[in-house]
Structure 1
């Protein structure tokens, strides 16, 4: 098993990188989340997951160990392959996936391309306990925060704000004030949008 690669960054695109390690160039598939975290330097280190199939060996790389752990957890779910797991990590931040699983938010998981209702429910059913235990989360606060956050985002969308922009602002507010009410989140968001 290849645990990590450390070497010179030869090529970089949103879906893959090539790392030169001692004269050998490794092609590594990455998520958009990892792409956004890769530093602008010649030398990088990625934690890897090697997928071995009958006809290929494919390396997946991650800047953060926690993202690799989420990737591996997603692979353990029936119906989720490496490409769908990578799409999930490209569509949502790892933190958002963890919160969606822990709070049982089928809609968020289902919003990812290639994931239907049954698969989203299976992801939550299979991984909820593992995620809560592994990331030491308090289930009650996640559900509360997620509901308040979602209601605030919906209200801001109705008011005409772009969801992606509003999400960033709301996430920051919720991080600073985990117990904030929907009204508080909206008021603070309006000041920052």
Structure 2
């Protein structure tokens, strides 16, 4: 099994990296945190998972063994293939994934493109029984992410109740995250909602 690879980065896109490993160019689909480890022309070691299916062979890259373990649990759920599992880990951190499962927080999963309500419900229901105590304990002290998650979920739910589609909500929340920077993580619900509505009206 191909558990990890190390090489020089030839190219980086929004979803993958091309890694030169002893003269072989490996195309690796990466999680968000794995992509943040990469810089062109620099060397990097990525934790990997090689998936062989009817559609072909795909190599997935992660920043840690823990993130890989979360991914492997995600893809056991019906309707969650490798690409959807990776989309989840580009939108959410492993700690957010685990906490959302434990709390049955469907709205957090609905932020992910390609994840509908039924899939979000399956993720919360099916995986809750399969999370190990060690995995849950790994994030037990990261309480600071909870207020941010709750604020974003409340705003997302409010926007959907106003008739905006899930895709519109996802797009505007990600735009605000880019534009507001660090302020996005500490902004109050009313501030986020006001900014989101302003952006949606503009477009």
Quick check: TM above 0.5?
A: yes
Deviation at 1:21, TM superposition (A): 1.3
For 1:10, the equivalent position in structure 2 comes to 10
CA offsets per residue over residues 55-114 of structure 1, 9 Å max, x none? 511101112222111111101111100111111111222221121112110111122111
Give the 3-state SS of the residue equivalent to 1:131 in structure 2: coil
Gaps of 5+ in 1: 174-184, 187-193
Contact kept, 8 Å, 2:9 with 2:40, in 1: the verdict is no
Q: Does the 8 Å CA contact 1:153/1:170 hold for their aligned counterparts?
A: no
Unmatched runs of 5 consecutive residues or more in structure 2:
159-174, 189-203
**TM-aligned CA distance change 1:74 to 1:153, over 3 Å:** closer
- For 2:91 and 2:45, locate their aligned partners in 1 and report how far apart those are by CA, in whole Å: 23
Runs of 4+ more than 4 Å apart: 138-143, 151-155, 165-171
Q: Deviations over 1:18-71 (max 9, x none)?
A: 111111111111123321232566211111111102351110111222211111
Q: Is the 8 A contact 1:103 1:139 kept in 2?
A: no
Determine helix, strand or coil for the equivalent of 2:137: coil
Which residue is 1:110 aligned to?
110
Deviation at 1:133, TM superposition (A): 1.9
Asked if structure 1 preserves the Cα contact closer than 8 Å seen for 2:108 and 2:149, the reply is: no
* 1:121-170 CA-partner distances (Å, limit 9, x unpaired): 11111112333524233999999x83786259858xx9xxx963789558
Question: Is this contact kept in 2: 1:38–1:63, CA < 8 A?
Answer: no
Q: Which residue number corresponds to residue 33 of structure 2? A: 33
- Tell me which residue corresponds to 2:72: 72
Aligned mates of 2:120, 2:48 — CA distance in 1: 25
- The answer to whether the 8 A contact 1:32-1:89 is kept is yes
SS state at 2:6 partner: strand
TM-score w.r.t. the length of structure 2 is 0.68
- Alignment check: 8 A CA contact 2:107 2:153 kept: no
